[in-house]
Amino acid sequence: MIFEMIGRIVSILLVAAMAWGQRGPQGERRQQLPAHIEELEPKEVDCPPNWVTYKSSCLKFIRSPVKNRIDARKQCQ
């Protein structure tokens, strides 16, 4: 999940850098933004059965006593 977030941030920064630097040091024209910006959007997540998609992640709700994050993570793995 952290790698997906880093990938999105890098994509956004690349698009921003291309938009801000459209002309080179001698004024030559640089490459324009991609025509299909949606290609940089994250792909849909395909969650396993009985899991819920939320913000490009898969969540599973389990009816059990409340657990701390570490114990809950152990149960999901």
Same domain, 9 and 34: yes
Is the pTM value of this prediction over 0.75? no
Domain of residue 53, residue span = 43-77
**Mean pLDDT, range 5-25, rounded to an integer:** 63
- The span from the CA of 56 to the CA of 43, in Å, is 8
The pair of structure tokens assigned to 9 is 């941030």
pLDDT reading at 47 higher than 60: yes
Give the chain's domain count.
2
Cβ atoms of residues 51 and 60 within 8 Å: yes
Same domain, 33 and 61: no
- DSSP annotation of 16 reads H
pLDDT reading at 69 higher than 70: yes
Higher pLDDT, 40 or 53: 53
